[in-house]
Chains A and B, each alone.
Chain A
């Protein structure tokens, strides 16, 4: 039987669906980071606020990248509907802990999508997702390093802590 679906797209329906879920997750991350930026801003953590504003922008770009991929592959990219996110936090440390937890759940989600791609023999999408694997390695590294700083810098030295947190970058080897 002629495969008219394949003529239209290489993306199978379940891959289309999980990629749309991932778009939603990236946009949710963006929203969560924006709320964290807002919390830092109003509590005087100017540098951490800047850090989260930047993270928020990046997460939006991650979502858009998948959005364009789906459009390019000839299937439907769904505009995500984002619900309310947590806007209050107890401490600066708990903000960064929430950030690490978010990154871990994104890493898990990316892993699950790649597992599905392998099951469905969709090596094109797997190749596309390779960028996200590397990105998550960096993101988890940065979030963990930030949490380390809370143990290294005395809690009453908030200005220094705030400055150092915003300076954390990934310095490991990366292949582009």
Chain B
């Protein structure tokens, strides 16, 4: 974690940081870090939430063993097993919740005590 990064949300499987210098989100998941703009982060979260997990669980052919995602403006792609989809969803939606909470607090004039989350 770098000096200008704030923890948005963490699970045992990964972390989401925000960089206060570049105003970007950094997703750390299965030992890799991927940086996203605000819009691309939203988009990436939507992509992960849109994965048809039922299909992955029920279909027996190889093509449905993993979900492959290429998030916008990154040169990497995520190859996710069913378990990883669950963990990544957890992480991204948890981060989404914290961002909403942060907004709600600032809407009513409060702010997140940073030392508690950092």
Contact = CB atoms under 8 A, between A and B. Distances in A.
Given A13-B42, A75-B39, A5 B20 contact: no
Contact of A1 (B39, B42, B96, B112): B112
Counting chain B residues whose Cβ lies within 8 A of the other chain, the interface size class is: 20 to 34
Interface string B93-118: 00010011011001100011010010
A3 B39 contact: no
A6 B106 contact: yes
B18 A2 contact: yes
A42 interface: no
Contacts of B96: 13
B103 A5 contact: yes
| Interface majority SS (helix, strand, loop, mixed), chain A | loop
B30 interface: no
Interface string A1-12: 111111111001
18 contacts: A1-B6, A1-B8, A1-B102, A1-B112, A1-B117, A2-B18, A3-B99, A3-B103, A4-B20, A4-B24, A5-B38, A6-B103, A7-B23, A8-B37, A8-B38, A9-B38, A12-B100, A121-B107
Interface of A: 1-9, 12-13, 16, 74-76, 121
Interface of B: 6, 8, 18, 20, 23-25, 37-39, 42-43, 96, 99-100, 102-103, 106-107, 111-112, 114, 117
